[in-house]
Amino acid sequence: MELIIGKNYEDMSKSAADIIAELIRLKPNCVLGLATGGTPIGTYKELIRMHIEEGLDFSGVKTFNLDEYLGIGLDLQKPYTQDQSYARFMHEELFKHLNIKKENIHIPDGLAKDPQKFCSHYEEEIKKAGGIDLQLLGIGGDGHWAFNEPGSSLYSRTRVQPLSKQTLEDNFESFYKKSGIKKEDMPHFAITMGVGTILESRHALMIANGKKKAEIISKALEGSISWEVTATAIQLHPGKTTVILDKDAASKLTWTAKE
């Protein structure tokens, strides 16, 4: 595993974007696995800058997103659902700024009529695309990868998953702040790629920043592998593995005292 510790969020974001851009230049038709949340926003901003200022070309790139809340998506009438869907997030924070082809974007469909069937279809689509070259990952406060909440099998595949209490707490703020949604009205389920699906990516790139993530990052990288913290599966990733942190997120690691 390669561990990069940046000075701050901007540093972390720039390093992550550089790795992704290098892959796109090397393999213009690469398959990227993408993540949502506060952590990757800086990485996406930098990729957008590279596209605009340096001509980084996304026309051949295919993407698969990790997850989506069940029951919301871009098409629903209720305004809050539109605001909070990860499809909306990806469109606003990344895709609408790039020359990526619409048909090359894949995001779990939170409005699928038959979500189980959709999950099998999603796995098939990833296979058909030739597998994921690089999977960008954050880490949740409860140690989740995507929405693989504590108790998810490390062999799990794309499926419908109930959200943990902590995830509901962590994500409540964005639902409430943006749209005044009460906790009981938040989606309590999600479609998520499985840990097993993620582990098949050829390069896993995990990013985390801030003091809030220090404890869980130390558990994920230095703790015992366990379904209690599904991000510990990074220790099992057979392909290339990179972790990029800022100083704060790295502050509880014991084996990185050197800098």
The residues that are catalytic are: 67, 142, 144, 149
Binding flag, residue 87, ligand PGA (CB under 6 A)? no
Cα 14 from Cα 172, distance rounded (Å): 28
User: Among 140, 143, 187, 194, which residue sits at the site for ligand PGA (rule: CB under 6 A)?
Assistant: 140
Q: Which is nearer to ligand PGA, 94 or 104 (CB)?
A: 94
Three-class secondary structure of residue 159 per DSSP: strand
Amino acid at 93: E
Q: Which of residues 29-68 bind ligand PGA (CB under 6 A)?
A: 37-39
| 121: CB partners within 8 A, 6+ apart | none
Closest separation in Å from C-beta 205 to ligand PGA? 13
Contact region with ligand PGA (CB under 6 A), list: 22-30, 123-131, 133-141, 236-244:
133-141
Supply angle C-alpha 20, 247, 223, rounded to 5: 85
Query: Minimum CB separation from ligand PGA for residue 96, in Å?
Result: 20
Q: Which of 61, 90, 139, 243 binds ligand PGA (CB under 6 A)?
A: 139
Radius of gyration of the CA atoms of the chain, in A:
17
C-beta of 190: minimal distance to ligand PGA in Å?
11
Q: Taking contact as CB under 6 A, which single stretch among the options 6-14, 80-88, 101-109, 137-145 is the one that binds ligand PGA?
A: 137-145
| 159-162: strand order across its sheet | 67-69, 189-192, 159-162
How far apart are alpha carbons 165 and 17 in whole angstroms?
32
- CA gap 141, 99 in Å, rounded: 33
Q: Is 138 in the site for ligand PGA (CB under 6 A)?
A: yes
20 binds ligand PGA (CB under 6 A): no
Q: What is the DSSP letter of 254?
A: S
Min CB(77)–ligand PGA separation in Å: 27
Of 40 and 115, the one with the shorter C-beta distance to ligand PGA is 40
178 lies in the binding site for ligand PGA (CB under 6 A): no
Report the alpha-carbon distance of residue 138 to residue 159 in Å, rounded.
Answer: 19
In the complex with ligand PGA, the residue whose CB is nearer, 39 or 135, is 39
Query: What b/e string do you get for 15-41 counting C-beta neighbours within 10 Å, with b at 16 or more?
Result: bbbebbbebbeeeeebbbbbbbbebbe
Q: How many residues bind ligand PGA (CB under 6 A)?
A: 6
How far is residue 64's CA from residue 240's CA, in Å, rounded to a whole number? 19
**Continuous segment of H or E residues that includes residue 45:** helix 41-54
Residue with CB nearest ligand PGA? 37
Interface residues toward ligand PGA, by CB under 6 A: 37-39, 138-140
